[in-house]
Amino acid sequence: MTDDVRILTTTLDPAALTTELVNDRAHSQGALVTFVGMVRDLTANPVSAMQLEHYPGMTEKSLAAIIGRARARWPLGRALIAHRVGMLHPGEPIVFVGVTGSHRREAFAACEFLMDYLKTEAPFWKKEFTPDGERWVEAKPSDGEAAQRWRAAQQQQQ
């Protein structure tokens, strides 16, 4: 079982990461769920590029800790989080989360859990470049609510 956290300064290749997980999983793992997030291109709110800053060291630690929490909740095989930093343009993949498990249910749940916590607890900051200038994007309250949902679900189970 290898936990993987990769911070990439060049292109993120979701197909290559998916193939890696398919080939590298244990044979008892019949499920692989992946999520790929891409830079959106919104006509109402044109963003020509975005710059992603992070806190090297803390980023890797916090993502590894999030994977550890997912493992405490579900029996998982591989868990891989890859995240871009630096300059990105609309359409480019920015994040990849891939989880293998024996069954689809835990793989789906863990993949969503990892994304929800990544959005609230990993030290990434996004600056958007638009025709009107540059702006830092603050964390959206809805991202915090998503992570809160998992906490509530766990308390109900206890």
Q: Which residues bind other proteins (CB under 8 A)?
A: 53, 55, 57-58, 61-62, 121, 123, 125, 127, 136, 138-139
Number of alpha helices (DSSP H) and beta strands (DSSP E) in the chain: 4, 8
The least CB distance from residue 59 to other proteins, in Å, is: 9
User: Which CB atom, from 17 or from 94, has the smaller least distance to other proteins?
Assistant: 94
The least CB distance from residue 126 to other proteins, in Å, is: 8
The least CB distance from residue 61 to other proteins, in Å, is: 6
Radius of gyration (C-alpha) of the chain in whole angstroms: 16
User: Which CB atom, from 58 or from 153, has the smaller least distance to other proteins?
Assistant: 58
Q: H-helix or E-strand containing 68?
A: helix 58-73
Q: CA 74, CA 68: separation in Å to the nearest integer?
A: 10
Query: Contact, 116 vs 146, CB < 8 A?
Result: yes
